Structure 1
Amino acid sequence: MSAPARVAVAGAGAWGRNHLRVLHGLGALAGAVEVCEASRDQVRRDYPGLPVWGSLGEAFRHGGPVDGVVIATPAPTHAGLAAQVLREGRGVLVEKPMTLEAREAQGLVDQAEAAGRVLMVGHLLLYQPAVRELKRLLDSGLLGQVYRIHQERANLGRVRSTESALWSLAPHDVAVLIHLMGEAPLRVAASGAAFLQPGLHDDVHLELAFSGGRSAHVHVSWYWPGRRRALRVLGERGMLVYDEADQSLTLHRKRLLGGDTLRRLDAVDDGTVRVFEGPGEPLRLEDEHFLHCLASGSRPMSDGRSGLDVIRVLERADAQLLGALPPTLKEV
């Protein structure tokens, strides 16, 4: 069996440390890049003998073989660092949000495709086994026509000063929506409130329209009294609920049947059944997928173009929150 690709992690903060742990366990960790001296010292204590560099340039000049880089630094740095990795001829996994502008995301997509390099985005939920099973069930026609998807991601969480709750939390849910619907939305309308920091919204609602009359609603907030993580799919033949807390899928055999007049609807309730449960480690699955793509040259499931679709939605929603743009997406 050939050795796995060698991957460096740029950024040894809270999430970067998770990538370090997983890639080390997979035998694929080439080193760490971190600008903070105290964080570099911590990495050296955690992984004795691991190369630790102060910059990507130093890693490429003085490091050993590095086939790819995970970018787990603050969001405003993503575009520049990912572009640097691609210029060096390596593949890159960029944590969400891929960039903070669609123009930058498009530039990375063009750069990766011109160089024939892997560009992957850290849309972690797409690698969650329960979400993959949800996609399979919807594609199988279990619910018939999908009418609407509701998503909620709220908690009293970590407030950021460089990005809003929209940019911090919604990439997860928008990526899943696009994946489940099989296309980017046609329209998006956003509303919300910025009460902790001017211009950075803390509580956001998105309304999205897809082809075939399908729609979706997303609510994200980091100023909320309790933890809420749920996705509900409303379909022609029933409803599916994904509970992120216990990684389960529950089928609700409930629906409304049209009567012989427009004023009559008959409610049908045939009970509920758990159709999937089983925790997985999505970050391990995501990093394994990145290693596979580096070795094979195959296109990632969460590739640069899917990341671009997400950024276009977020950019348009953010502009609406700031009162700058209408909801139509088609000209973006």
Structure 2
Amino acid sequence: MNSNKKLNIAVVGVGRWGKNVVRTIVEEMPNARLSHIVTSNPAVKSQYENKLSVLPNWRMLLEHRDEYDCIVAALPPDINLELAKDVLPLGIPLFIEKPLAMDYEGAQTLLSLAQQNKSIIQVNHIDLYNPAVDEIRSRLSEKPVSIKGAIGAAYGHHAVMSPLWEYSPHFIAAALKIAMAPLISLQATYLPIPKSLQDNERRELVLLTLKFADGSEAEIRAGNGMEDKTRTLDIRQEQDQYLFVDRADVPLRINKQAISIDTRLPLTKSLLHFADKVNNQDIDLEDFISGVEVIRILELADRSLQEGKTIKL
């Protein structure tokens, strides 16, 4: 691709999260251009129809294939596979939201599609591109690590997935990258919901414990049963502590000392990484394969919750 040419991006899905994606492309990606939007929302259509091409469904978007370079989809996970089946055989680079599928079988099907078509594809596990996580990883040795993460809020229950599946994938993906050893067991247990949140909303708070072959361990608390919006990682190795607190005045501290990092949001870094993949025609699937492993872990976590026991791999 001509390096002087802006990357034309089509966005499919402009709901609550999709609006963040659109804003990021427009405001944070100077070498990209938002060229198309797919939405059924009349308000979104009226906002953008005089600025760019607005279409009601992705199949109409595919009829305009020569007008954009890639697709960024902000869709529920039950739609990702259907979209990929239409898009990947056409050679269109695709960015999808997490979790990448509703079950492990669907994730494997999606991976097979990507492999067969030599696709450029990325799943949006934003903490793989989080500047704080990058900085922490650069300072870790190969010795075992302890990872404690908390991610969640008090939002309503998602229409198609449980709070565990909605909130935990980012930190599961990050834990797999940080630990770097084979996963040998996992256990998921329900935690009590604070009294202030015991309302008519369906709420869950889950503790997911991952144990790795080298002695590393990750404990991830995730769900919509947290009183405050929370996104923290506490990583320890030997005598060192690495503490990430999202959107804090000082988001990263190492042994209580403030560390300067790239201030761009993880979503921005994730989308920029995808743009680089498109520009470089990068068909490497390592991170996507990790995303498939995240789905396997989520399925096993559901089994652990149902059976009330540790699952050995």
| Fold shared by both chains (TM-score > 0.5) | yes
Equivalent-residue separation in structure 2 for 1:107 and 1:183 (angstroms): 25
1:24 Cα deviation (Å)? 3.1
1:325 Cα deviation (Å)? 8.3
Equivalent-residue separation in structure 1 for 2:66 and 2:309 (angstroms): 47
Paired position in structure 2 for 1:295: 279
Paired position in structure 1 for 2:38: 33
Equivalent-residue separation in structure 1 for 2:23 and 2:284 (angstroms): 22
Paired position in structure 1 for 2:126: 124
Out of 189, 192, 195, the position equivalent to 2:190 is 192
Paired position in structure 2 for 1:2: 4
Secondary structure of the corresponding residue to residue 212 of structure 1 = coil
AA in 1 matched with 2:163: A
Spell out the pairing of 1:83-162 with structure 2 (5 A cutoff). 83-138=85-140, 141=141, 145-162=143-160
Equivalent-residue separation in structure 1 for 2:240 and 2:64 (angstroms): 58
Paired position in structure 2 for 1:78: 80
Given that 2:205 and 2:223 are in contact with CA atoms closer than 8 Å, whether structure 1 keeps it comes out as yes
Question: Which stretch of structure 1 is more off in the superposition, 153-162 or 169-178?
Answer: 153-162
Which digits, 9 at most, give the CA deviation of each residue in 1:294-330, with x for residues without a partner?
121224687321211111111111222233986123x
Asked whether 1:281 is paired with 2:265, we answer yes
Q: Normalising by structure 1, what TM-score?
A: 0.82
Spell out the pairing of 1:164-175 with structure 2 (5 A cutoff). 164-175=162-173
Which digits, 9 at most, give the CA deviation of each residue in 1:64-107, with x for residues without a partner?
42321111012211221122211222111111111111111111
Paired position in structure 1 for 2:294: 310
Equivalent-residue separation in structure 2 for 1:298 and 1:159 (angstroms): 36
Secondary structure of the corresponding residue to residue 289 of structure 1 = helix
Secondary structure of the corresponding residue to residue 98 of structure 1 = coil
Asked whether 1:251 is paired with 2:254, we answer yes
AA in 2 matched with 1:13: G
Q: Over aligned residue pairs, what C-alpha RMSD do you find?
A: 2.5
Given that 1:184 and 1:309 are in contact with CA atoms closer than 8 Å, whether structure 2 keeps it comes out as no
Q: Normalising by structure 2, what TM-score?
A: 0.87
Equivalent-residue separation in structure 2 for 1:204 and 1:100 (angstroms): 18
Paired position in structure 2 for 1:263: none
Paired position in structure 2 for 1:213: 215
AA in 2 matched with 1:206: L
Equivalent-residue separation in structure 1 for 2:34 and 2:183 (angstroms): 37
Structure 2: tracts of 5 or more residues without a match? none
